[in-house]
């Protein structure tokens, strides 16, 4: 399945785009996605160890399951305020 990942801030800057397209097996989880992105986008690797993930606008964990309809985002450490 194809999962799209929204990028923000330094992740968007390093990937030079605001969305990634990642091919994953059906029933893949956030942990699977992180592994795929680490390999496919080495420029993002330093960020991935510190970043959170969001699925459908809520923070996710490694076990969160993904579908093609999932709205997925990579959330680098936040700095609002």
Partner 1 sequence: MIQLTNHPIDTAALLDRARHPNAGAVVLFLGTTRELTGSRQTVALDYEAYREMAERQLIDLETEARRRWPLLECMIVHRLGRVPTTEASVAIVVSTPHRADAFAAGQWLIDTLKHDVPIWKREQWADGTTEWVHPGITEEGERGRGGEGETR
List residues binding partner 1 (CB under 8 A): 6, 8-10, 13, 46-47, 50, 54, 57-58, 71, 73, 75-81
Q: Is 49 helix (H, G, I), strand (E, B) or coil?
A: coil
Residue 37 CA to residue 73 CA, distance in Å, equals: 12
CB of 49 to partner 1, least distance (A): 9
The 10 Å Cβ neighbour count of residue 56 is 12
Cβ–Cβ < 8 Å for 77, 10:
no
- Residue 23 or 61: the one with the smaller Cβ distance to partner 1 is 61
- Residue 5 or 28: the one with the smaller Cβ distance to partner 1 is 5
- Residue 1 or 75: the one with the smaller Cβ distance to partner 1 is 75
């Amino acid at each position: 399945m194809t999962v799209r990942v929204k990028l923000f801030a330094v992740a968007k800057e390093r990937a030079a785009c605001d969305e990634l397209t990642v091919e994953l097996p059906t029933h893949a989880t956030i942990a699977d996605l992180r592994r795929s992105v680490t390999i496919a986008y080495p420029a993002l690797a330093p960020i991935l160890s510190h970043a959170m993930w969001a699925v459908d606008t809520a923070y996710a964990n490694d076990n969160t399951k993904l579908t093609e309809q999932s709205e997925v985002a990579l959330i680098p450490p936040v700095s609002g305020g």
